[in-house]
Amino acid sequence: MSKLLLYLISDILALFLAVYLIPGIYFLGDLKTLLVAGLIMGLINFFIKPALKAIAFPLKFLTLGLSSLIINLGLVWLVIGVLFRDSFVVTTWLAYLWTFLLIFFLNMILISNKKK
The distance from CA 98 to its chain's CA centroid, rounded to whole angstroms, is 10
Number of domains in the chain: 1
Quote the pLDDT of residue 42. 93
> Burial code of 24-55, b = ≥16 C-beta within 10 A, e = fewer?
bbebeeeeeebeebbbbbbbbbbeebeebeee
Q: Which of 46, 43, 47, 41 is nearest to 73 (CA)?
A: 41
Task: Give this prediction's pTM.
Answer: 0.87
Identify the residue with better confidence: 111 or 10.
10
Give percent above pLDDT 90 in the chain: 83
1 falls in which pLDDT band (50, 70, 90)? low
Reported as a single tens digit per residue, the pLDDT across 67-80 is: 989 999 999 999 99
- Average of pLDDT values for 5-29? 94
Q: pLDDT at residue 10 above 60? A: yes
What are the phi and psi torsion angles at 89 (to 5°)? Answer: -120, 120
- Average of pLDDT values for 51-67? 91
Quote the pLDDT of residue 61. 87
- Average of pLDDT values for 56-63? 91
| Residue 40, domain extent | 2-112
Q: Is the dihedral of CA 13, 69, 37, 43 positive or negative?
A: negative
Q: pLDDT at residue 115 above 60? A: no
